[in-house]
Amino acid sequence: MESLEDYRVEIDRIDRELTILFEKRMDMVLKVANYKKENNVQIFHKNREDIVFENAKSNLINKDYGDEVVKFFNATMEIGKALQRRKIDDIKKLAEVKVERSAIDKSRRIGFPGVSGSFTEEAATKFFGDKIEKSYYEDFEDIFKALEKDEIYYGIIPIENSSTGAISQNYDLLKKYGFYIVGEEYLKIQQHLVGLKDTNLDKIKEVYSHPQGIEQSSEFLKKYENWKLIPFHNTSTSAKLIKDLSDNTKVAIASSRAASIYGLEIIEECINNQKDNNTRFIVISKELKVVKDADKVSVVFSLENEAGTLYRLLRYFAENNINMIKIESRPTKDTPWKYFLYVDFEGDIDSEEVLNALKLIEKNSGYFKLLGAYKKKI
């Protein structure tokens, strides 16, 4: 019978082999990254990651290890991305090559979630103007997939609300797809209870809306505990559904514009919890673009589970007299108690103070990515 020591010896042997293979993989990761940069090839390909995961699972003899092998390869790929950004980083590109500043091309096709009448469409019109080519998509991730396939040139999505806070899903999607922020827009949000003509509050059974619409109107909805709250793709899609169902026991939470477009009436006005209810939207692109008068920067970096890590990284902003506007943390999912920190701050990406702070943060964090430099709206 083999002893515990025999098992340990065998594990040590396998670990040595893994170390050699890991080093070879990192060498190859850098070669691929350099090739992509020199030949102007897109760095991130989500489909490639999915293929790696599927191949890893199919190569297993013991299929019970399927979830574990995906986590193993995902962690390895995240380490590879961090290495690429440390060796071939966006900050170096901005500092040394001086990326040419260019205006947002408002003639290009944009995509946003929902149908005509959505708040996001309204924000898009406010940012791009009335004469825009637009495509509608069902869910937030559909926008990212459309960008990845070049169906659209820009996407616009909500990222935070003054009443309910961050829209966490969209922070995670930014990280997942590796896209950039090229602009922002703010919109005052007024949620209304809308339905068919002659809809009576006492007869309502179901309320449809995006989860944000429901959450932003939670205080009003508490007064009607018998109503069934049904999360749906989008506030405007919810309004269209009520029109299509033609059932006055069902209502939606949506904008007055959506109600008008789909021939619905406003049953109760301004039901959102806070009267000063605003949503911040971001314009996203596959490419890093910096407009001429950019004065706001967004970055994401990893936060290790070690005492003092947060202080050490954030003090670089203070030491360089940089005003942070927002901090949002998201779990890495694959490693317990490890987080990605999203930070928005004021500053010129070409300034010595900003570049100095970002280089120090990048150097002292396992993962770092410049998300964008753009013009702030408020």
Reported as a single tens digit per residue, the pLDDT across 196-244 is 999 999 999 999 999 999 999 999 999 999 999 999 999 999 999 999 9
Mean residue pLDDT across the chain: 89
Tell me: do 43 and 26 sit in the same domain.
yes
Tell me: do 177 and 197 sit in the same domain.
no
Instruction: Answer whether 0.85 is exceeded by the pTM.
Output: no
Give the CA distances from residue 246 to residues 50, 161, 198, 250, in Å, rounded to whole numbers and listed in that order: 42, 31, 12, 8
If we measure between CA atoms, which residue out of 118, 43, 123, 46 comes closest to residue 84?
Answer: 43
The residue-averaged pLDDT of 289-313 equals 85
Tell me: do 18 and 77 sit in the same domain.
yes
Ordered alpha helix ranges (H), the chain: 4-38, 46-59, 66-87, 90-92, 119-128, 140-148, 168-177, 211-216, 218-221, 235-245, 256-261, 309-319, 352-363
Tell me: do 153 and 296 sit in the same domain.
no
Q: Is the pLDDT of residue 93 over 60?
A: no
Question: Does residue 99 lie in a domain region?
Answer: no
pLDDT tens digits for range 21-56: 999 998 888 888 778 767 766 655 657 778 888 898
Active site residue 164: no
Residue 161: strand, helix, or coil: strand
Q: Which domain holds residue 78?
A: 4-88
Sign of the torsion formed by the C-alpha atoms of 90, 145, 104 and 121: negative
Write the CATH number for 302.
3.30.70.260
CA distance 114 to 134: 11
Write the CATH number for 75.
1.20.59.10
Write the CATH number for 264.
3.40.190.10
Question: Does residue 134 lie in a domain region?
Answer: yes
Question: Does residue 284 lie in a domain region?
Answer: yes
Report pLDDT for 91. 54
How many domains does the chain fold into? 4
The residue-averaged pLDDT of 94-103 equals 61
- Final residue in a domain of this structure, among 239, 271, 303: 271
Q: Is the pLDDT of residue 188 over 90?
A: yes
If we measure between CA atoms, which residue out of 44, 8, 12, 51 comes closest to residue 29?
Answer: 44
Residue 137: how many CB atoms within 10 A of its CB?
23
- Final residue in a domain of this structure, among 288, 316, 334: 288
Percent of the chain whose predicted confidence (pLDDT) is above 90 = 61
Q: Is the pLDDT of residue 294 over 70?
A: yes
Question: Does residue 42 lie in a domain region?
Answer: yes
Of 112, 127, 179, 281, the active-site residue reads 281
Give the CA distances from residue 86 to residues 44, 340, 370, in Å, rounded to whole numbers and listed in that order: 16, 16, 12
Of 235, 279, 301, 332, the active-site residue reads 279
Tell me: do 256 and 223 sit in the same domain.
yes
Report pLDDT for 97. 42
- Class of residue 268 by CB neighbours under 10 A (exposed 0-12, middle 13-18, buried 19+): middle
Q: Copy the structure tokens of residue 188.
A: 């005052």
pLDDT tens digits for range 261-281: 999 999 999 999 999 999 999
Tell me: do 179 and 63 sit in the same domain.
no
Residue with tokens 């203070």: 318
Question: Does residue 76 lie in a domain region?
Answer: yes
Tell me: do 140 and 282 sit in the same domain.
yes
Query: Which band of pLDDT confidence, cut at 50, 70 and 90, is reported for residue 372?
Result: very high
Q: Copy the structure tokens of residue 183.
A: 């602009």
Q: Are 279 and 204 in contact (CB under 8 A)?
A: no
Question: Does residue 94 lie in a domain region?
Answer: no
Residue 13: strand, helix, or coil: helix
- Final residue in a domain of this structure, among 88, 118, 145: 88
Tell me: do 150 and 197 sit in the same domain.
no
Tell me: do 184 and 277 sit in the same domain.
yes
Active site residue 76: no
Question: Does residue 96 lie in a domain region?
Answer: no
Radius of gyration of the chain (CA): 24
Sort strands 165-166 and 134-137 into parallel, antiparallel or unpaired.
unpaired
Tell me: do 179 and 167 sit in the same domain.
yes
Q: Are 17 and 23 in contact (CB under 8 A)?
A: no
Question: Does residue 59 lie in a domain region?
Answer: yes
For the stretch 302-309, contacts whose Cβ atoms lie closer than 8 Å and that sit 24 or more positions apart, written own/partner, are 302/82, 302/332, 302/338, 302/339, 302/340, 302/341, 302/365, 302/366, 302/367, 302/368, 303/329, 303/338, 303/339, 303/340, 303/341, 303/365, 304/338, 304/365, 304/366, 305/336, 305/337, 305/338
Tell me: do 155 and 228 sit in the same domain.
no
Poorest-pLDDT segment among 66-70, 91-95, 179-183, 261-265: 91-95
Report pLDDT for 43. 57
Residue with tokens 């010595």: 352
Q: Is the pLDDT of residue 341 over 60?
A: yes
Tell me: do 51 and 110 sit in the same domain.
no
Q: Copy the structure tokens of residue 38.
A: 């020199």
